[in-house]
Structure 1
Amino acid sequence: MTRRLDGPERYTVVSADCHAGADLLDYRPYLPQRYHEAFDAWAADYVNPFTDLMAPEATRNWDSDRRLAELEQDGIVAEVVFPNTVPPFFPSASLTAVQPTAAEFELRWAGLQAHNRWMADFCAKAQGRRAGTFQILLNDVDAAVAEVRRCHASGLTGGLVLPGVPPGSSVPELWSEVYEPLWAVCAELDVPVNHHAGSASPQLGEEPAARAVFMVETTWFSHRALWHLAFAGVFHRHPALKLVLTEQGSGWIPGVLDMLEYYHRRLVGAATRAATAESKFGVGLAELMGDGPRAAWERNCFVGASFMRAHEVPMRDQIGLDKIMWGSDFPHDEGTYPFTTEALRTSFAGVPFEEVAAMVGGNAARVYGFDLDALDAVATKVGPLVDEVAQPLTEVPPGATSPVFAKGASVRVW
């Protein structure tokens, strides 16, 4: 945040949810030479299914100077960068891809590592302004652990993108003890574990109803990582581990925490009563978890609250003011660009300065290791004006496409 003598002037905005990736052929140099022939054959036949990666706007995924300029124009001084473009050997975006079969694993793994190497170079072009995330696959936990160490050493401070495990997946569910080395290395190196929406949903098909159901359910499937890790005792064994649930909304959190606490108490209590119908469901749970799910949330968890909507903001104390990290979702159509100030007005008008400053920048700086003092210096020139954000938005800007502006999604009673 930046201040004038008589009070705050501008916010220092760090987007906890942005996306980037290389142009398709630019991944080739990041692959080991033994995969070049296979890459050339794959790239020659590849048909891009995403119109936004073919339009002139696609260059903002990999054009560092353009990206910095557009983010600054929108009032954003730093970003956590998730994947966006299609890495080698994937049929579509890797962020939403299911875990590969054993036959697919070698090439897909090489493709993800190429993306990770590209991401490190991309973030190095804007030192201190980008926290790049990196991807793994869960088919080979030892290889995943080695990639965590390599990516951490390469300067990717955004942390691990945890793949989703939909029901019926070819790999174990996230609560499985097979992943213990992964949690251990992330806790050891202080690497945030990010679980982004879209990667945990089962494939439902292309019928109109299937597509609608996917949209309704996709965030719920992403929420599952929270209770899988909590009931597996991961947070109890690794109290320093950070789990970030990104682009899943935030209004669901208080109710889900109440539900998880209820089941925790119910199952632990049942385990102490012999010969009841429920006693077997809670056996060993108290020892495994230590404390309850709410304590784990308060100690270990954060939310990447992309384009946080107005009706969610009054829940901030129930969610945890220190847990919320606003995100713009740049450069997606549902993101707030180029109307970030208007989006902030929609959500945060009337909220005290110190609280807004934490949610739009301070919390993300702490979780992802940004130098907030250095970012403040940039924000003095480009950050959204505090006085402007304090004014409720009365008219949606023409051309705004973010759900934060949708009718009924951001209604606040004044």
Structure 2
Amino acid sequence: MSAQDTTEDRYTVISADCHAGADLLDYKPYLESRHHDAFDAWAATYVNPYEDLLADTADRNWNSERRLAELEADGIVAEVVFPNTIPPFFPSASLMAPAPTREEFEQRWAGLRAHNRWLADFCAAAPGRRAGVFQILLNDVDLAVEEIRRSVKAGLTGGVMLPGTPPGSGLPELYSSAYDPIWAACAELGVPVNHHAGSASPPLGEEPAARAVFMVETTWFSHRALWHLVFGGAFRRHPELKLVLTEQGSGWIPGVLDMLDYYHGRLVAAATKADTAESKFGAGLADSMGRGPSQVWRENCFVGASFMRPHEAALRDRIGLDKIMWGSDYPHDEGTHPYSREGLRLTYAGLPRDEIAAMVGGNAARVYGFDLDRLGEIAARVGPTVRELDEPLKEAPADATSPVFAQGGSVRIW
């Protein structure tokens, strides 16, 4: 009997998308001592560009007790923890910034390792309730593999945060076999490769339209990881590899899989006809890929469906019920906190109980290695009840900031 059964009338909710990081100066003890003087100089002049990391609520990123209390009040018993605050020596987000000089590259690698060490301690402060996602850079694959092995050994079970390779990065594209050692290490160690929205967009400049264009394009640039790894044959060479696409929506998946299947079939067929103009585009594709895109999705891929919308839940059979992992995006403004229960009602009310249980916790437990029996004991105290989530939400909370509550939030975007 599973924990979901023993809690009787409550769901075990695991957020597959939360964010955390240390307060800036608290990273110093996690740096190698040879970087301490450089860190002091950097930190003395650093100006944080993010308002939410300067607000009085910023400690939600590192205050373990506050975090546990707020998540429990929101009905959540465990979380997958993506990075949020700025690690040492980075100008802003750390997801892809290749350093302009060798010295800066070494410092930024040291900064990411400091974050990963801090994260291991942060996760250990709540045993069994946090799956920490550790960071790497792609400039040096050997260093990346070394950090993957060290992080898993340190107890981080959330897998690797895969940076993007946007236009202009100077890095090989994600379909390149140069990254095979990374895929091999993650497959061997049983941890997923996570690709989070916002981690692959190129810089867009400071024109007034830049932010709007970013919002339109950022999810598309993040989706690219799927077809890069599929067409690149990563899953043929490493059949145990798991890919998780997080905070990119989920309603786009059926249509994109149809498109990828179409191109796969078209190009593979064209490769058998040497006298056609298209034959060169499919040359070698069947051998390098193995299975088709939809089959790869069914066997290897998952979606971190942050603040999932009602129209996405309606597509659950086409996406794959066993692929969907709901996320609150705590502590971000676009997240569902402190109205996650209401967000869950809006999206899932009226659906079969076993299907809700899979999407709000069961799938994440399987992908990230959470113990549902152990978490069920906490859920029996704080989890949303079956009756609660069966009640349709008639009116959104007036001060809710998540897009899931926005008027027109069921429009089929992403």
The TM-score normalised by the length of structure 2 is 0.97
Matched, 1:100 2:99: yes
- Structure 1 residue 102: deviation in Å? 4.3
CA positional deviation for 1:308: 0.5
**8 Å contact kept, 1:22–1:62:** yes
The structural deviation recorded for 1:99 is: 2.8
Residues 290 and 133 (structure 1), Cα distance of their counterparts in 2 relative to 1, 3 Å cut: same
Give distance in 1, aligned partners of 2:130 and 2:233: 32
Q: How big is each residue's C-alpha offset from its partner over 1:207-229, in whole Å with a ceiling of 9 and x where there is no partner?
A: 22111000111000000000000
SS at match of 2:325: strand
Contact persistence 2:6–2:376 (CA under 8 A): no
The alignment-based identity, stated in percent, is 73
State how far apart, in whole Å, the 1-side matches of 2:217 and 2:282 are: 28
Paired residues for 1:200-349 under 5 Å: 200-349=200-349
Alpha-carbon distance between aligned partners in 2 of 1:246 and 1:129, rounded to the nearest angstrom: 19
Matching residue's letter, 1:144: A
Q: Deviations over 1:334-371 (max 9, x none)?
A: 00000001000110011110000000000000000000
Cα distance in 1, alignment partners of residues 354 and 44 from structure 2:
52
Residue 164 of structure 2 is aligned to residue 164 of structure 1:
yes
Counterpart position of 1:153: 153
Partner of 2:354: 354
- Per-residue displacement from partner, 1:21-69 (whole Å, max 9, x unpaired)? 0000000000001100100000000011111111111111101111000
- Distance of 2:4 and 2:143 partners within structure 1: 43
CA contact (8 A) 1:101 1:170 kept: no
- Residues 124-172 of structure 1 show CA distances to partners (whole Å, capped at 9, x for unaligned) of 0000000001000000000000001000100000000000110121211
Return the alpha-carbon distance in structure 2 between the equivalents of residues 152 and 102 of structure 1. Answer: 29
Partner of 1:366: 366
Amino acid at match of 1:259: M
Aligned to 2:9, what secondary structure does the other structure show? strand
1:44-123 equivalent positions in 2, closer than 5 A = 44-95=44-95, 97-103=96-102, 104-123=104-123
Please tell me the root mean square deviation across aligned C-alpha atoms, in Å.
Answer: 1.3
The one-letter amino acid paired with 2:363 is: N
- Hey, what's the Cα distance between the residues in 1 that align with 2:411 and 2:282? 41
Quote the residue 1:391 is aligned against: 391
* SS of structure 1 residue aligned to 2:160: strand
**Residues of 2 paired with 1:201 and 1:4: CA distance?**
44
Deviations along 1:370-404, one digit per CA (max 9) or x if unpaired, are 00000011000000111111111111102100000
Give the ranges of 4+ consecutive aligned residues of structure 1 lying more than 3 Å apart after TM superposition: 1-5
Match of 1:36 in 2: 36
The gaps in structure 2 that reach 5 residues or longer are: none
1:125 & 1:4 partners in 2: Cα distance?
Answer: 26
Structure 2 letter corresponding to 1:403: P
Contact 1:310/1:411 (8 A) holds in 2: no
Give the CA deviation at 1:2. Answer: 4.3
- Work out the CA distance in 2 between the residues paired with 1:391 and 1:255: 31
What is the rounded CA distance, in whole Å, between the counterparts of 1:19 and 1:142 in structure 2? Answer: 27
Aligned partners of 1:346 and 1:410 also within 8 Å: no
Conserved? CA contact 1:247–1:306, under 8 Å:
yes
The 8 Å contact of residues 254 and 319 in structure 1, kept in 2 or not, is answered as: yes
Distance in 1 separating the partners of 2:319 and 2:310: 14
What is the TM-score when the length of structure 1 is the normalising length? 0.97
Report the Cα distance in structure 2 between the residues aligned to 1:391 and 1:410, rounded to whole angstroms: 18
